[in-house]
Structure 1
């Protein structure tokens, strides 16, 4: 696994965490106290990280 794929996997995981945190903040669950507008920020950043990571993993070719 090369560095681009590793970085893509890290971005994807961070994106998933951001999406979950934004969703929990929007629903006021699990002790996450964010307003509905403020919960959109981690959700949007999570989406950006998630799709950037997925595209980086897909676009990077394997080398033997």
Structure 2
């Protein structure tokens, strides 16, 4: 497996975790709006950059 694909998968998983954490804090009302928005923005950034890195990287054997 390519190193870029591995890094893309890690970024995607971190983005999913960040989005889930932001969603849980929204539901529980346990954090301020600024921290929720920071987690959501960083989660979206990691998620979409990971997906695009996996999609763009070509497999070369």
State if a TM-score over 0.5 links the two structures. yes
* TM, length-normalised to structure 2: 0.92
RMSD: 1.2
Aligned equivalent of 2:50:
53
SS of the equivalent of 2:49 reads: helix
Name the count of aligned residue pairs.
Answer: 61
Aligned equivalent of 1:20:
20
| Larger helix fraction of residues | 2
Question: CA contact under 8 A between 1:25 and 1:36: conserved in structure 2?
Answer: no
**Gapped regions of structure 2 (runs ≥ 5):** none
Question: d(CA) in 2 for partners of 1:42 and 1:21?
Answer: 7
Question: d(CA) in 2 for partners of 1:36 and 1:27?
Answer: 12
Residues 2-54 of structure 1, C-alpha deviation per residue, up to 9 Å, x if partnerless?
1000000000000000000011111117xxx2123321110110000000000
TM superposition outliers: structure 1 runs of 4+ over 3 Å: none
